[in-house]
């Protein structure tokens, strides 16, 4: 894979590209980068595809946006990136957060996508489980308690522990701009957008996914008309790392 850099609207964007044949774009998840997809990229190239895998702005080796971005910002960036590379139409494989961006892109630029593969896609408002609800309730009480001056010195440490408990380590690691980006991204429910997707779509999900539970796969399937669903029984949130052979089998069958 050849690694390159390009400036898209002033933002340095790092991406990997290789191969000849039908074009396939891979969009990684939150906190990841194009590096996590290297194995999949190499095999797809060997199978006769031209593969492009960028680092989203704010991730990997790409620059952080100048301000907190929403999904429309990421969708527009992706359109400009593909236009710069002169891709008029492309198939998209999108994981988790990448699925959010892909949905926004496909809806706003419907003629630019050949086929869409969403796997373990984020984008729907997820109802918190009982444990998370309890932690959130305790957090409200904590804000009241730590408002007292003698206890303020402990507030930051307790806040860090709270984010770890509710599974938001990514929020802790992010700088201020990316924290603002995360808030904007998580605040947008893409359920109303799903019915606007007209391209042929494959939905792939791990049955053991605890980050985005498999029940949401069926909501995607129900709302995207021209779609099919594949459930991987022994896989969690990252099939490209847990069972890349099976994922590739499903992907290449759909692309062909």
Which CATH number belongs to the domain containing residue 40 in this structure? 3.40.50.1820
34 Ramachandran zone, left/alpha/beta (phi>0; psi -120 to 50): alpha
Which is more confident, 146 or 244? Answer: 244
Query: Do 170 and 192 fall into the same domain?
Result: no
Residues 95 and 193 in one domain: yes
Task: Please classify residue 189 by burial: count the beta carbons closer than 10 Å to its beta carbon, then call 0-12 exposed, 13-18 middle and 19+ buried.
Answer: exposed
Reply yes or no on whether the pLDDT at 25 is more than 60: yes
Contacts for 71 with CB less than 8 Å, ≥ 6 apart: 100, 101, 104, 184, 185, 188, 190
Residue among 144, 156, 139, 24 nearest 93 (CA): 24
Domain limits for position 168: 130-179
Give per-residue pLDDT as tens, 30-84: 989 999 999 999 999 999 999 999 999 999 999 999 999 999 999 999 999 999 9
Tell me, yes or no, whether 58 and 115 share the same domain: yes
124 band by pLDDT with thresholds 50, 70 and 90: very high
The tokens of 89 are what? Answer: 């139409």
Do 135 and 105 share a domain, yes or no?
Answer: no
Considering the domain architecture, whether residues 121 and 134 belong to the same structural domain is answered as no
Domain identity same for 60 and 153: no
Q: Which of 59-63, 128-132, 247-251 is least confident?
A: 128-132
Q: Are residues 166 and 113 in the same domain?
A: no
Q: What is the dihedral of CA 92, 12, 104, 174, to 10 degrees?
A: 110
Summarised one tens digit per residue, pLDDT across range 195-242 is 999 999 999 999 999 889 999 999 999 999 999 999 999 899 988 888
Domain finish residue from 179, 198, 219 = 179
- Whole-number percent of the chain with pLDDT over 90: 69
Give mean pLDDT, residues 106-113.
95
- Report the distance separating Cα 222 and Cα 235, nearest Å: 22
Q: What does the pLDDT read at residue 62?
A: 97
**Number of domains forming the structure of the chain:** 2
Q: What pLDDT shows up at residue 183?
A: 86
> Do residue 197 and residue 163 come from a single domain?
no
Q: Say if residue 27 is in the same domain as residue 113.
A: yes
Backbone angles phi, psi at 114, to 5 degrees: -80, -60
Residues 216, 242, single domain; the answer is: yes
Residue 127: pLDDT band (50, 70, 90) is: low
Q: How far apart are CA 194 and CA 226, in angstroms?
A: 11
- Both 170 and 214 in one domain: the answer is no
Average pLDDT value over all residues in the chain: 86
74 and 175 housed in the same domain: no
């Amino acid at each position: 894979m050849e690694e390159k850099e390009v400036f898209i609207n002033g933002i340095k964007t790092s991406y990997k590209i290789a191969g000849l044949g039908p074009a396939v774009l891979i969009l990684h998840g939150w906190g990841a980068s194009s590096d996590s997809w290297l194995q999949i990229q190499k095999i797809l190239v060997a199978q006769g595809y031209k593969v492009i895998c960028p680092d989203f702005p704010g991730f990997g080796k790409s620059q952080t946006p100048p301000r907190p971005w929403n999904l429309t910002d990421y969708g527009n960036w992706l359109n400009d990136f593909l236009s710069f590379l002169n891709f008029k139409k492309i198939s998209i494989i999108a994981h988790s957060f990448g699925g959010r961006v892909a949905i926004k892109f496909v809806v706003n630029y419907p003629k630019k996508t050949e086929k869409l593969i969403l796997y373990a896609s984020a984008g729907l408002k997820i109802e918190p489980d009982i444990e998370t609800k309890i932690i959130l309730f305790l957090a409200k009480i904590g804000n009241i308690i730590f408002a007292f001056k003698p206890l303020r010195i402990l507030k930051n440490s307790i806040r860090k522990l709270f984010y770890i408990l509710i599974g938001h380590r990514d929020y802790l690691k992010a700088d201020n701009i990316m924290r603002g980006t995360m808030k904007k991204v998580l605040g947008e429910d893409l359920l109303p957008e799903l019915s606007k997707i007209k391209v042929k779509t494959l939905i792939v999900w791990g049955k053991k996914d605890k980050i985005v539970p498999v029940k949401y796969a069926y909501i995607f399937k129900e709302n995207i008309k021209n779609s099919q669903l594949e459930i991987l029984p022994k896989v969690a949130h990252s099939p490209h790392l847990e069972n890349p052979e099976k994922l590739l089998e499903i992907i290449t069958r759909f692309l062909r």
